[in-house]
Chains A and B, each alone.
Chain A
């Protein structure tokens, strides 16, 4: 009982403390590939620290939504953390409170508030970015649905802990075509949802071309820090779902011992490191799509997930 509470706290702490590191490593890698020196991998921590010590400026025209949103964006990934396997491969307290759809809807709630806040201030770039994010979002929605259908079709459940077991017992299930195709589709989703390169350029500073970034333009001080940190955590949580549930469900703590739990932390970071190399390879070898090409990218993801269902159906 006490151990489980401790485990939950450790999971949340890992997500909170390691997520800026993941972003820092990703930025550094990318600059290195472009043969630049790149910022230190601890730069996101410094940014967040600096922003917390700055004054906050809030527009007179804005309503409570604008002030409330950073907290929602910050808290939502923490709630999702309680539902998914971050460090352990057996369910903790809240695992049966909600499945992957619940996790998706919590993240969607944060996205909803971020959209409202972007419209709230009357800055022209905010609504533009918000509407573009919605466009990508609603194209991603059917893919999410079909991926979840496939997963529940195979595993008979959408609780991530159960799904994770279904893919690797027996090991031959790992090479199940629907599994490989779902992984592909989910990879494309992660790219679209986090505004990585074929869909959106995360390091661009040109407001007219921004999709994801422009929603947080109006924030300063503590609000900006929370938005930034929340964004890092969302990325971390999605990576956890992708790696721990779909791709490599190994290397998680399997017993109630503290040692195993602590060993799982470097292992998950190692898995993420490998994934970040793949992501950097994708980002560096592709050009950003034009805005109206994004439906094609998401269409490809959709078809991939539909094929996953069809193949599963064929094999039945």
Chain B
């Protein structure tokens, strides 16, 4: 069980790297779906092991919102953006950003190291550093990418990372908090999606990285 959880964690952090390093938007979105499924798998395993019913709810909520509802929503709102064949523009080249992301993961591991000394159950050892890595690398993805949708995926990745760490530290979090978080993410995706759609209509592009100066009309 522990190994399966670690495997889900390892693949999870790999998909996080994919969010930083992939060129096609549609690929990023698929990776995000995979990432959410892996998070759900991890929650399921933890739920079985700790016997906490809340974690099953987390797994169900993750599948429902992040693996189904949000991608569907983004597909509907931004299909032209997703199916655009052009490549995502980045601030740094992809190998460089991948290397920085790898460095950030190791940094995340060392930041949570003191916490691991306090409570070192096998699941916390895996989930906490990986979740932390997800948060940091997700934030890095937001700064790296210059377009709206990949930036949104960066935020959602951070959120997934926080959940990954959260389910191991607090397996008995009240259901209402989880519901609130899941609903929150949904609203974030909806609002950002609508905003991006508006931006695309007004400016004709979603390269928000280029919109540095204000314009008077």
Contacts and interface: CB of A to CB of B under 8 A. Distances in A.
Nearest to B8: A177
A64 B105 CA distance: 50
A180 B10 contact: yes
Interface residues of B, number: 25
Contacts of A307: 10, 13-14, 17, 102, 105
B7 A175 contact: yes
Interface stretch (A18-26, A51-59, A296-304): A296-304
Interface in A243-258: none
Contacts of B10: 177-178, 180-181, 307-308, 311
A303 B21 contact: yes
A313 interface: yes
B7 A180 contact: yes
B94 A311 contact: no
A172 interface: yes
A177 B12 CA distance: 11
Contacts of A175: 3-4, 7
Nearest to B116: A314
Contacts of B4: 175
SS of B interface (majority): helix
Contacts of B95: 295-296, 298-299
Contacts of A302: 98-99, 102
Nearest to A308: B10
A225 interface: no
A65 B140 CA distance: 50
Interface stretch (B122-130, B146-154, B197-205): B122-130
Given A177-B6, A307-B102, A314-B130, A300 B11 contact: no
B129 A300 contact: no
Interface in A280-316: 295-296, 298-300, 302-304, 306-308, 310-311, 313-315
Given A299-B94, A303-B21, A177 B99 contact: no
A315 B126 contact: yes
Interface string A126-152: 000000000000000000000000000
B6 A303 contact: no
Contacts of A172: 3
Contacts of B133: 310
Contacts of A303: 14, 17, 21, 98-99, 101-102
Given A173-B3, A176-B6, A307-B17, 11 more contacts: A175-B3, A177-B6, A295-B95, A296-B95, A298-B95, A299-B21, A300-B98, A303-B102, A307-B14, A307-B105, A314-B129
CB-CB nearest 7 A-B residue pairs: A177-B10, A299-B95, A177-B7, A311-B10, A177-B6, A306-B102, A299-B98
Interface of B: 3-4, 6-7, 9-11, 13-14, 17, 21, 94-95, 98-99, 101-102, 105-106, 109, 125-126, 129-130, 133
